Amino acid sequence: MHANPFTPSQAPTHRLFGSCVPWLQAGRPPTGAPLTTEHVPADPSDPAVRPPGLISEEQVPYPARAISRRLSAVVVVRALVDETGTIAEAAVIQASGQPLDYGFEQAALRRVKGRKYRPARRNEVPVPIWVVVRVEFRPPPVR
C-alpha cells in the first residue's frame, strides 16, 4: 500500500473535479486509501468508457410564474452521475436568460437531479462521470 503523498494543503485540485470530490481537496479518499483514478470521474473520451444510459427522469412542470408570459427557455445543466447511476451533484452551466424568479433554472435542476441512469463503465466497472443535460421548456398549449 502506498502512503498518501499529499497533506491537505498540498492536495491535488482540478478546476472541474475539485469541488465535486471533496476528499481530493482534503488530500485523501474517504477510506484513507491512496488516491487512485477509480475515485475520479471518468473521461468520456476514453475509449474504455461506456457512457451512462438514462433510465428515468422526473417530469417537472413548466414554471408557474412563466405561464402567463408564454416563454420558451433552455437551461444547460452539468451533472455528476455516480457509480450507482444517481445524480450526486448538479449545477447550471448555461442559464435561461430569463429572470431567475420565473423558475426555469430551479425547475431544470429538479428535473436533472431526479434522473436515474445506468452507470457509466470503464472496463466493465461502474465509474462516476460528468454529463451535460440540455433542458428545454415550452409553454403548455392554450386551452
Distance (Å, whole) CA 41 – CA 3: 22
Record the pTM. 0.70
Distance (Å, whole) CA 20 – CA 80: 8
1-40 confidence digits (pLDDT tens): 344 333 333 333 333 333 333 333 333 344 444 444 556 8
| Residue 55 to residues 29, 79, 124, Cα–Cα distance (Å) | 29, 15, 18
